[in-house]
Structure 1
Amino acid sequence: MPEQQIAGRYELLEPISSGGMGHVWRGYDAVLDRPVAVKLIRRESVTSPALAVEFEKRFQREARVTARIQHPGVPQVFDAVLDQSFHHLYLVMELVDGVTLTKYLRPTPGEVAPSLPIGWAAAVAAQVATVLSWAHDVPVVHRDLKPSNIIVARDGTVKVLDFGIAAMLRTDVTKLTATGSLLGTYQYMSPEQIRKGQITPRADLYALGCVLHELLSGQLLFPGEGEYALMTQHVTQAPTPLRELRSEVPAGLEDLVLHLLRKDPGERPADSQEVYERLRPFLPAPGERPEPRGGVPRQMPDPTRLFRQPYAPRSRAAAPAPQPAPGAPAPAHPVPGLLSEELREEIREVHTHYDALMDEERFAQAAEVAGEMADRAARALGADHRAVLALRTRRAVSLLLGGDFRAALPEFETLAGAYARTVGPTGRQALDCRAQAARCRAELGQATEALADLRAVLDLIRTTESDVSEGAVVLRRDIAMLLLAQGKTAEALALLEPLHADLLVVQGPDDELTVEIADILAVIRFGPDLPQG
């Protein structure tokens, strides 16, 4: 079990990142059965119990203000928890599955940063400008906009992190930082912040100009070494025009970046709406094909997708790999490794942990626990080892019971193929996984495919087992219920009547399933105006 639990419900699972304001952990909300991000505000930010209590109150005020930014580009903040020692404040937030902009700029430490495609850079900046427009209307000024605070989610949505946290830690009001240092990151800090002048939304526009300059050129705006050198450059030095660093940057985009980077806030664009309008000519049109990725790694999400495919439906799941026909030679697989005693013990502990989580109906976390161990075991033993398949089966079951049918479907389909290879296509595990995959399809609205799959499994079960075996009976019931859902009442009745007769003989009239089928038959026969398919 996790070593630390916050407020009796939030568990810290693994560190994600560490930044100037604190450490971020992947966490788990035991009450709502969902993953969360938990940020631990640095200890030096909270130097006494009195300041800690004041800090918690300030956070709650700021969180209420931040919650008014009703935009999908702002991750939700769920909770603030002050521990009993009054030394730590934990912020519980929406966990975003994506890639920080830092990874786009520096995919591998030490490598020269690639220049993003023009449309990608414009799409990121346009989405950030949209978020800022909603924030500045509240008004909330971010104060620490930088690549590590910008995440591109898997669907291409840009998320801006840490709204409100900067305001909570500002030294001119709370005096909460131990060093009294300036708030912000020097590479992206506006001249007025460095001078400790009045902070307005245009400070965020300057930071956006720094980020956009870096996205387009692959270089920091100013290369100064050390805080003092960087601050001096931001206050006094003119930026290098982008077209001197990258000739294919459009002149209009260069002009916008130079406008954002004016030293005097009053000389910058009036607001983020103006910035967005000036970015529009460089954004892809709906239906336009994606730009070549160039040096961008394949795993990086494409931020132009929102503009090319606005309000597009979720991408279809990839079709499962075709399974070999019965009797065909199995494809070559790595020879499984030996199950060491150490690994055996780890797997045993995971199964115990999994069982405890399932008893508490913490399905999402149970799936994560089983999946992580399955991945580790597969690297050591091979993907088709029975211990790996058992873990993956448990993950699939917990996803199914948690209602995440979209994630459970490919798991069961993959397992069905693996069991077909290892125990044969008519083996119990292979057939069970095929049936569960079909049930997931039914839940996802793919009734026709689900019916075909369930009937195919039932035909295979009938070749090896009785028509009244447990597996066959459940499948007969499921097929009939799908037919009813499609309005094919006559076909359903033709299945349910012999099923009920079989259950009366095998299970008796008081059996739960017998009673269920009898009730369904009564509704079909005597219900008002039921269509007869």
Structure 2
Amino acid sequence: MYACRRKDATGAGKVPQQKIAGRYELLEELSHGGMGDVWRGYDAVLDRPVAVKLIRQQAISSPQLAEEFAKRFRREARITARIQHAGVPQVYDAVLDDSLERLFLVMELVDGVPLSAYVQPGRPLPVAWAAAVAAQVATVLSHAHVVPAIHRDLKPGNILVARDGTVKVLDFGIAAILRTDVTKLTATGTPIGTYQYMSPEQVRGGRITPQTDLYALGCILHELLSGQLLFSADSEYVLMYQHVNADPTPLRELRADVPPALEELVLLLLRKAPESRPADIQDVYERLRPFLPPPGAAPAPAGAGPTGVPDPTGLFRNPYAPRSRAQAGPRVPGTDGQPPAPPAPAAVPGAFREEIKEAYAHSDALLEEERFAQAAEVLGEIIEPAARALGSESRQVLELRTQRAAIRLLGGDYRAALPEFDALADAYGRIHGPTSEHARACRAQAARCRAELGQVTEALAALQGILGVVRSVDGDVSEEAVELRRDIGMLMLAQGRAADAWHILEPLHEDLCVVYRPDDEMTAEIAEALALIRLDLDGSAS
């Protein structure tokens, strides 16, 4: 469930054309695993991106198991959906196709980095980083185990660290859906799980309990702190034998700076008998607490942890911190402080012209269905290659970016639209002049975004400045001037400045009655606002 480029259409990763349950589109494959594949998808009904987990067809070995499988699938999917925790991606839907041979879990799409990317041979994590990951996983398991839901396949590949450092545990319920103790869904009869992290009781086919997840967490914590797997062997059977019979190497023999209490906790988690492990995951969290950074602590110095991955300690160093301020929004070529690319030739290659045309057509079709987020995303997929081919400030690229920003504004995504409109206003200002029509339009749209985000004073100042330019160029009743006057008056009214709003809207209403008609939609809107102002002013403005 992490972002990646769309694969080409030569084979692997080819996008299926069908919709699931008539609403979920599969757009690109994100990961390919033993139990199934994860796709970035889109919910056409709610207009939002989703992750879709496809369970492999061979998970069902015979038609006779289909009905039993369907019952278990629905039950486990419901259990997973009951885990209410920020560290568990939400389950939105559970779909079995008509043949009962394929199943799909539709889930929250998370942008992050798999924990497996943190594990580098010979480069163990800082103690605080490893403890922060384990502690966050422990909080997730504490919510899951009370449901009760046991993960059964906890491993670095099923743990994601989001961009803000939040740890997400993926695939709850998948191993339970496919487990062999009742349904025997695997053709070979081997237990479900990943051998490097499989508990002794799983190897033996014994009863699964919350302590099974504790053993897997011990394997993960050992790996994060030592930089190597708990056990390694060429054969899966040797690995299984080691989990049942071999003693783990104490961490301090592999890394001298591991605190003795942390080594003791890992050895406790890795005990062969489930009842010998900690009584519950809450006990594990308490034992991890001394190794977590306290609130207000500075981050580890650069180079202490792996580069290019989120810091999992941030949630402990800055608990309940507000969301980070928006920086520049999505990166747009030519707007990241680097000089824009040289102007491209005026001619657009025929094939590329068709791709742009198709992107507009696809986006327009989505707009007809009010699927604003996906319509903007479709244009976004062509903007970067267009910028490379044609120049980041070519007419075609600026038009694409302007349309994407307008769609975001229309769909209510003001936070994403604002930096785009600001960047576009600057670009049009460089090309056509700061008071040009395109630059003015983008600055006005940016101001409208600011107003929607609560930055009303800044929005008013910007709109009044633009109106002054428009009046000097096109007069007071051009379409652009009328819209600006309306927006300024309405913002003043929203601020409680009824008298100021009256002085803007009353002459606007008179102009609209002349230029348009009294029954025009905007004329009626202004008339209604004036009626409200009269009530506020007790007739003093009339």
Match 2:35 to one of 21, 25, 41: 21
1:269 Cα deviation after fit: 1.3
Residues 191-237 of structure 1, C-alpha deviations (whole Å, 9 max, x = no match): 11111122111110110011111112221112222212211222222
Contact kept, 8 Å, 1:210 with 1:261, in 2: the verdict is yes
Superposed CA RMSD in Å reads 2.2
| Structure 2 counterpart of 1:278 | 287
How big is each residue's C-alpha offset from its partner over 1:275-300, in whole Å with a ceiling of 9 and x where there is no partner? 10011111122222222242645542
Match of 2:278 in 1: 269
Cα deviation, 1:319-347, whole Å, max 9, x if unaligned, reads 699xxxxxxxx955334366321111111
The yes-or-no answer on 1:56 pairing with 2:87 is: no
Q: Which amino acid aligns with 2:81?
A: A
| Greater shift in the superposed pair: 476-485 or 229-238 | 229-238
TM-score between both structures, scaled by the size of structure 1: 0.92
Per the TM alignment, residue 271 of structure 1 is displaced from its structure 2 partner at its CA by 1.0
The one-character-per-residue Cα deviations of 1:72-92 (angstroms, maximum 9, x if unpaired) are 211121222222343211111
* Alpha-carbon distance in structure 2 between the residues aligned to 1:529 and 1:248: 76
- Pair 1:336 & 2:344 matched: yes
The equivalent of 2:119 in structure 1 is: 105
SS of match in other structure, 2:78: helix
Name the SS for the 2:95 alignment partner: strand
Among 395, 399, 402, the alignment partner of 1:390 is 399
Pairs within 5 Å for 1:322-401? 333-336=341-344, 339-401=348-410
Q: Deviations over 1:443-486 (max 9, x none)?
A: 11111121122222222323322221111111111111111111
- Counterpart of 1:174 in 2: which secondary structure? coil
How far, CA to CA, are the matches of 1:514 and 1:488 in structure 2? 21
Equivalent residue in structure 2 for 1:35, among 35, 42, 49: 49
Contact 1:15 1:23 in 2 (8 A): yes
Alignment match of 2:503 (pick from 472, 494, 503): 494
Counterparts of 2:469 and 2:227 in 1: how far apart (Å)?
59
- Which of these residues, 413, 420, 424, is aligned with residue 422 of structure 2? 413
Residue 305 of structure 1: CA displacement?
1.8
SS of equivalent to 2:181: helix
Alpha-carbon distance change, 117 to 509 in structure 1, aligned in 2, over 3 angstroms: same
- From the superposition, tell whether residues 11 and 235 of structure 1 become closer, same or farther in structure 2 (CA, over 3 Å): same
Counterpart amino acid of 1:153?
Answer: A
Aligned partners of 1:70 and 1:134 also within 8 Å: yes
In 2, the alpha carbon distance for the partners of 1:408 and 1:3 equals 30
Letter in 1 for 2:92: F
1:65 aligns with 2:74: no
Structure-1 residue corresponding to 2:316: 307
Q: Does 1:8 align with 2:22?
A: yes
One-letter identity of the residue aligned with 1:266: E
Give the residue type in structure 2 aligned to 1:88: R
Alignment of 1:62-101 (within 5 A): 62-101=76-115
Which region of structure 1 is more displaced relative to structure 2, 491-500 or 161-170?
491-500
CA distance in 2, matches of 1:360, 1:306: 39
SS of 1:515's equivalent? helix
Q: CA deviation digits over 1:233-260, x for unaligned, max 9?
A: 2222222222232332222222211211
State the SS of the aligned residue for 1:173: coil
Q: Deviations over 1:1-58 (max 9, x none)?
A: 9612111111110001011110111011111111111111111112344423322221
Which residue is equivalent to 1:126?
A: 135
Inter-partner Cα distance in structure 1 for 2:41 and 2:502: 49
Q: Higher mean Cα deviation, 335-344 or 166-175?
A: 335-344
- What's the % identity of the aligned pairs? 68
- Alpha-carbon contact 1:117-1:292 (below 8 Å) kept: no
Tell me the residue number matched to 2:261. 252
User: Pairwise mapping of residues 178-189 of structure 1 onto structure 2 (< 5 A)?
Assistant: 178-189=187-198
Q: Which runs of 5+ in 1 are unaligned?
A: 107-111, 322-329
Q: 2:179 aligns with which of 165, 170, 173?
A: 170
* Alpha-carbon separation, structure 2, partners of 1:478 and 1:305: 41
**296 and 14 in structure 1: CA distance in 2 versus 1, 3 angstrom threshold:** farther
Distance in 1 (CA, whole Å) between partners of 2:183 and 2:248 is: 33
Contact 2:70 2:100 in 1 (8 A): no
CA distance 1:530–1:18, change in 2 (3 Å): farther
- Contact 1:335-1:382 at 8 Å conserved across structures: yes
2:211–2:274 CA contact under 8 A, matched in 1 = yes
| 1:327 aligned partner | none
**Aligned mates of 2:340, 2:137 — CA distance in 1:** 48
Q: CA deviation at 1:531?
A: 11
SS of the residue 1:411 aligns to = helix
Q: Which amino acid aligns with 2:55?
A: I
Report the 3-state secondary structure (helix = DSSP H, G, I; strand = E; otherwise coil) of the residue aligned with 1:352: helix
Contact 1:26 1:38 in 2 (8 A): yes
Counterpart of 1:325 in structure 2 is none
Range with bigger deviation, 488-497 or 64-73: 64-73
**Aligned ranges for residues 135-150 of structure 1 at < 5 Å?**
135-150=144-159
Amino acid at match of 1:314: R
Q: Which moved more, 1:6-15 or 1:481-490?
A: 481-490
Task: Report the residue type matching 1:336 in the other structure.
Answer: A
* Stretch of structure 1 that moved more, 228-237 or 141-150: 228-237
Contact map agreement 1:489 1:531 (CA 8 A) in 2? no
Does structure 2 retain, via aligned residues, the 8 Å contact 1:420–1:430?
yes
Give the TM-score taking structure 2 as reference length: 0.91
**Structure 1 residues 493-521: Cα deviation after superposition (integer angstroms, max 9, x where no partner):** 11112212222222232322122111111
Matching residue of 1:109: none
Counterpart CA distance in 1 for 2:64 and 2:364 is 43
CA contact (8 A) 1:336 1:385 kept: yes
Q: Report whether the alignment pairs 1:226 with 2:240.
A: no
For residue 113 of structure 1, report the CA deviation from its aligned partner. Answer: 6.2
Aligned partners of 2:329 and 2:420 also within 8 Å: no
Query: Cα–Cα, structure 1 residues 210 and 373, in superposed 2: closer, same or farther, change >3 Å?
Result: same
Paired residue type of 2:399: A
CA contact (8 A) 1:48 1:86 kept: no
Q: Is the 8 A contact 2:343 2:393 kept in 1?
A: no
Change (3 A) 1:480 1:234: same
